Amino acid sequence: MSGLSRRRPDRLAARRAADLGKRVEYLAFGLAGEAYAVPIALVAEILKPLPITHVPRAPHVVVGLMTVRGRLITVIDLRRRLRLPETPIDPRSRILIADTGEEQIGLLVDEVMQVYRLAEAEIESAQVLGGDQQAYLAGIGRPEGALLILLDLRPLLET
Amino acid sequence: MSDTGGGSGKGDASVEKAREDFLSEAQELVDGLSRDLLLLDQQSRHGESDPDLVKDVFRAVHTLKGLSGLFGAVRMAAVSHELEEALDDLRLGRLELGVRVMDLLFRAVELYGLLLLAEKGHGPEPTKDVEALLLGLGQLTHQGEQGPQNQLAQYEIDSSVLGVLTEYEEHRLRTNIKSGVSLYRIRVQFSLSTIDTALDELKAAARPHGEIITYLPSDAGSDADTIALEILMASHAEVETLRAALTGLSLTIEPVKRRGAGRSSAPVPPPKGPPSRLALGELDDADVAQWPGDPARQDALAPLPSPAAGANPPPTVPPAAGADAAGANRDLSLRSVSQTVRVDIRKLDNLMNVVGELAMARAALGRLTDRVRSQPGLRPLGIELHRLQRTFDRHLTQMQNGILEVRMVPLGQVFEKLARVVRQISRENDKEVNLVITGAETEIDKLIVEELSDPLMHMMRNAIDHGIESRDERHLVGKPVVGTIALNAFQKGNHVLIEVEDDGMGMSPAVLVDTAIRRGLVSPAEAADLSPRDIYNLVFLPGFTTKDTATDLSGRGVGMDVVKTNIAKLGGVVDISSEVGIGTKITITLPITLAIISVLGVEVAGRSFAVPLANVEEAIVLDEALVRNFDGREALTQRGTTLPICRLARLFDLSAEAGADTRRRDTRACVVIAAVGNRRLGFVVDRLIGQQDIVIKALGKSLKGVKGFAGATELGDQRVRLVLDVAALIEEVLATDKERIGLKEGAVAR
């Protein structure tokens, strides 16, 4: 016990240093007028919409298949996944190629905005919204003035 | 490329790599061991054993011991050690090669398989089996070499020669003398510069006629550039025959005289007698008599050809012929090992993908070229481009074929395992069965080979358990007591056919129908409508078995339906024909490769799909007037049989896209008739697009719940076309039959 308390000031200091130095980069994108973001480390590529082939019988969230340099990629419509109203693909639409570890999946978004470097202090837990939150809500990012809904890709892409 | 996955640390990777190499090398050795043992088993049944073969087996085990020790595979090392001891005794004649020893050796091979699996982390350590085998090996009683103790003395062999013979050479000498062949002394002079090849030549030439026991340098006639050898050889041939065989080599041959038979001549370094080749020669004759069809036997016994087509036989070995073929080929296979490269199949898949991408680039290049050529001002440039494109085309095709070829492995890889299984099952069943293999060299995609062993194993079990009659029964009906299962493989166009044919009791249609009714798989009314072909296909129904009690081998009602499913998964088809009292033949038809397949492009509601041509029987124009509706399902009458049809647009819930389809309303729809196994179904499509060879790619995990598609392929313009999983779709569409069966089965059970 005494050991722990003695060390606590050090740890706080270290954390403050980390807050200043080590930040995580998030890629922000728009969906139905809101700004969402995922860690940019998980995004392998950002592509303009390519021809997408509809897959009969696929789950509703699946837009279809496309190929990127010979690789088959399943494209998911994030609007459908988040139960947001649908809009047709337009020139600002982008497909983020996300690496889930198991496969690369394309995420269809309305537009790509910018990269934010978020310190831990700038991230609020999703709990602030109260109640039972969806597992894919990783938190709320609050870079100066803006508000980002941070997504956790793994639960988002499950099922 | 967008590869983002990083590898593990360099050190780990190299250790991991070395370990993988060890495992695959060990696997290769075990496979070779299994091959040699089967050969040895054949020989031992005739009371013979080829000493070279025993030596090969010994060497393989010795290498395994070293390897496993190096990689800390303790159990494998322990097994190898004991096995090595036993084989050493066998080699030196201290142990007799009998059924018991063969059983132990075969068990050791099985055990190696389990141990390797365990090493790969795919199975439990077979601790008990190891102990049992070690115990069994320990209990082998050694017999002393008896008999020709004095016989050696009967020959005029110089004691100085006898003194330097190794234990092995002495054993061979005794064995040869015991079998009563003649000993010859050959004196030959070699130039020092060419002695290696010259000696090989001599050995090769002598081999068909006997066994070289030893060769020793002799003083007589040696000078600075040459060396004289005294060779002791055992042969059943006359001295003239030997001289004729070895003609062209500067040597002298004289028989070694028996003491007392003539005058005792000067002691000469004696060649020692080799009767073992005689043994092999006799065996071959016997074999030919027993195994119908000489080529069959050759195929079964000959080692596999190396996948490397360029593995030429060493120049010093003359084309092996006749009795010696097996021996000479074994040398060949030993040598080719070093010319073989082991490659992870995934690396080949990657290469395949790259080639696929190049093919896309080629298509784009073609379109570009056409555009350039159509512009009057750019003609010269267009022509040049066109030429370049053709060259690119040609080389790409070569590359594609080259990679496909590399993926090909001989079916012999599975067939060997089967030979072992057949031996085991027939022994357990107390039936005698000869497995006659032809076409083991037929090549097929590596991935297919791996998926084949289970289905083929089931078929072998069935053939032995249900097909081949007991000895007494066979005797009663005047069949040879030893049953025969023929395993034939051959290529036919773009397909490989594998036939399993037994000369057993065959299947009686009446019994099959009766059984199916009894098991509630069909109703008596349905049974009355079955065609002869349908009746044989009853065995593919889940739950079908004619045996009332399940044995270890079969009769559990799983088996043939699994066979069918597995083969269908590979895009293959299974057919059965049978005649009561004569036997049963099951034919599997498989595509040669999975990676590149030929497909038929079809269009449905403005979208295109690909149907693997392997599953397509034919395509016909749909005449709506002929469509009949049964019970909510549609069918056509085609050549006197009923063909159920399924409208793809409806199945996939596709509504015609505006514009895309209406223009073609006037054209008539087509029916693509697909068959998998014994089931046929017509897919109704809007139009046919044409035939194409495509590289098929698997769908990602996120789509694994979507049934009905085998994968997708990329068209030249970056578009994706889905490839239908015909087997799954047929299964699904015709499922109601099965559901009915399932319900009935449930009702019976209750």
pLDDT tens digits, B473-495: 899 988 898 999 999 998 876 67
Contact B639, B680 (CB under 8 A): no
Percent of chain B with pLDDT over 70: 75
B722 to chain A, any CB pair closer than 8 A? The answer is yes
Q: Where are the alpha helices (DSSP H) in B46-166?
A: 51-70, 74-91, 99-119, 127-138, 151-154, 159-164
Q: What is the pLDDT of residue B301?
A: 40
Residue A3 in domain: no
Quick check: B708 and A103 CB within 8 A? no
Number of domains comprising chain B: 5
CA B721 to chain A, closest CA, distance in angstroms equals: 7
- Distance CA(B609)–CA(B689), nearest Å, equals 9
* Statement to judge: residues B424 and B441 lie in one domain: yes
- For B183-200, the pLDDT digits (tens) are 888 888 777 777 777 778
Same domain membership, residue B586 and residue B611: no
Residues B669 and B729 in one domain: yes
- Rounded to 10 deg, the angle between the B446-462 and B560-569 helix axes is 160
> Is residue A143 domain-resident?
yes
pLDDT of res. B376: 85
Q: Which strand (E) or helix (H) includes residue B473?
A: helix B471-476
Q: Has residue A5 been placed in a domain?
A: no
Q: Is residue A1 part of a domain?
A: no
- Distances in whole angstroms, Cα of residue B41 to Cα of each of B36, B63, B97, B98, B440: 9, 22, 9, 9, 19
Which residues, 6+ apart, have CB-to-CB distance to B14 below 8 Å? none
Phi then psi dihedrals of residue B477, to 5 deg: -90, 5
Has the ipTM of the complex gone over 0.95? Answer: no
Residue among A45, A56, A105 whose CB faces B653 most closely: A56
Q: Is residue A7 part of a domain?
A: no
- Smallest Cβ–Cβ distance between A70 and the set B356, B653, B701 belongs to B356
Judge if B97 and B156 occupy the same domain: no
Contact assessment for residue B44 and residue B64, using Cβ atoms and an 8 Å cutoff: no
Interchain proximity B2–A68, CB inside 8 Å = yes
Q: Which stretches in chain B have pLDDT values below 50?
A: 1-10, 144-149, 261-338, 549-557, 658-664, 738-750
Confirm whether B4 is domain-assigned: no
User: By C-alpha distance, which of B179, B164, B257 is closest to B216?
Assistant: B164
Q: Look up residue B449 and give its two tokens.
A: 């080979």
Check CB contact under 8 Å for A73 and B354. Answer: no
Nearest CA in chain A to B648: A56
Residue B71 burial by Cβ neighbours in a 10 Å radius (0-12, 13-18, 19+): middle
Chain B residue with minimal CA distance to A159?
B702
- Neighbour tally for B23: CB within 10 Å: 17
A-chain residue closest to B697, CA distance: A72
Band (A131; pLDDT cuts 50, 70, 90): low
Measured distance CA(B697)–CA(B597) in Å, rounded: 11
Instruction: Specify the pLDDT at position A49.
Output: 86
pLDDT tens-place string over residues B709-731: 988 887 766 789 999 988 888 88
- B416 and B365 within one domain: no
Whole-number pLDDT of residue A30: 94
Q: If you ran DSSP here, which 8-state letter would residue B613 be given?
A: G
Integer-rounded Cα Rg, in Å, for chain B is 32
Task: Tell me which of B354, B602, B648, B702 to substitute to probe the interface with A (most A C-beta atoms closer than 10 Å).
Answer: B702
Same domain, B473 and B576: yes
Residues B620 and B585 in one domain: no
Q: Is A90 exposed, middle or buried (0-12, 13-18, 19+ CB in 10 A)?
A: exposed
If one counts every other C-beta atom within 10 angstroms of the C-beta of residue B120, the result is 12
Q: Is residue A120 part of a domain?
A: yes
Nearest-CA residue of chain A relative to B708? Answer: A57
Q: How far is CA B689 from the centre of its chain?
A: 38
- Token readout for B423 is 């031996």
Residue B510 covered by a domain: yes
C-alpha dihedral over A130, A136, A138, A143, to 10 degrees? -100
Backbone dihedral region for residue A50 (phi beyond 0: left; psi -120 to 50: alpha; all else: beta) = beta
> Where among B113, B138, B163 does a domain terminate?
B138
B224 domain residue, yes or no:
yes
Q: How many domains does chain A have?
A: 1
Amino acid B220: pLDDT: 62
Domain residues for B108?
15-138
User: Could you tell me if residue B418 is inside a domain?
Assistant: yes
A41 touches chain B (CB under 8 A): no
CB of B497 within 8 A of CB of B490?
yes
Interchain CB contact of B607 with A (< 8 Å): yes
CB B504 within 8 A of CB B468: yes
What CATH number did the domain enclosing B230 receive?
A: 3.30.70.260
- Where do runs of H (alpha helix) occur along B267-411? 276-290, 294-301, 325-336, 345-373, 379-407
Q: Check if the beta carbon of residue A123 is closer than 8 Å to that of residue A150.
A: yes
How many degrees, rounded to 5, is the angle at CA B158 between CA B152 and CA B159? 75
Residue A8 has pLDDT above 60, yes or no: no
- State phi, psi for B268 to the nearest 5 degrees: -120, 145
Q: What is the pLDDT of residue A157?
A: 82
**Cα Rg of chain A (Å, integer):** 18
pLDDT of amino acid B490:
87
Confidence (pLDDT) at B172: 79
A18 with A129: CB under 8 angstroms?
Answer: no
Compute CA distances A21 → A119, B46, B191, B739, whole Å: 8, 82, 80, 64
In angstroms, rounded to a whole number, what is the distance separating the alpha carbons of residues B386 and B380?
Answer: 10
- Report CB contact under 8 Å: A72, B712: yes
pLDDT at res. B716? 63
Residues of chain B with C-beta less than 8 angstroms from the C-beta of A81: none
Q: Do both B565 and B650 map to the same domain? A: no
pLDDT at A110: 94
| Greater model confidence, B236 or A140 | A140
**pLDDT value of residue B488:** 93
Are the beta carbons of B492 and B573 closer than 8 angstroms? no
The answer to whether residue B22 sits within a structural domain is yes
Supply the DSSP symbol for B749: H
CA B54, CA A2: separation in Å to the nearest integer?
74
CA angle B148, B149, B150 (to 5 degrees): 90
Helices B99-119 & B127-138, crossing angle to 10 degrees? 150
Q: Is the pLDDT of residue A48 over 70?
A: yes
Q: Which domain holds residue A115?
A: 24-157
Residue in the block written with tokens 């590869």 = B3
CA distance B111 to A61: 50
Last residue of a domain, one of B591, B619, B637: B591
Q: Which of A158, A13, A144, A22 is nearest to A100 (CA)?
A: A158
Q: Is A157 on the interface with B (CB under 8 A)?
A: yes
| A72 → closest Cβ in B2, B653, B699 | B699
Tell me: do B386 and B454 sit in the same domain. no
In sequence order, what are the residues at sequence separation of 6 or more whose Cβ sits closer than 8 angstroms to the Cβ of residue B96? Answer: B143
User: Could A69 and B354 be called an inter-chain contact, meaning their C-beta atoms sit closer than 8 Å?
Assistant: no
> What CA–CA distance (Å, rounded) separates B313 from B328?
10
Cβ–Cβ contact A10 with B under 8 A: no
Q: Are residues B32 and B99 in the same domain?
A: yes
> CATH number, domain at A73?
2.40.50.180
pLDDT digits (tens, 9 = 90+) for A55-105: 999 999 999 999 876 678 999 999 999 989 888 888 899 999 998 777 789
Q: Is residue A53 part of a domain?
A: yes
B545 and B656 inside one domain: no
Residue B318 lies inside a defined structural domain of this protein: no
Residues in contact with B603: Cβ distance below 8 Å, sequence separation at least 6, in sequence order: B609, B685, B686, B687, B688, B689
Measured CA to CA, the distance from residue B411 to residue B632 in angstroms comes to 45
Domain shared by B69 and B173, yes or no? no
Quickly count: other Cβ atoms within 10 Å of residue B411's Cβ: 27
User: What is the DSSP-derived secondary structure letter of residue B468?
Assistant: S
Residue A29 has pLDDT above 90, yes or no: yes
* Other CB atoms within 10 A of residue A56 CB: 19
Indicate the SS3 state at residue B322.
helix
* pLDDT 10s digits, B578-589: 888 899 999 998
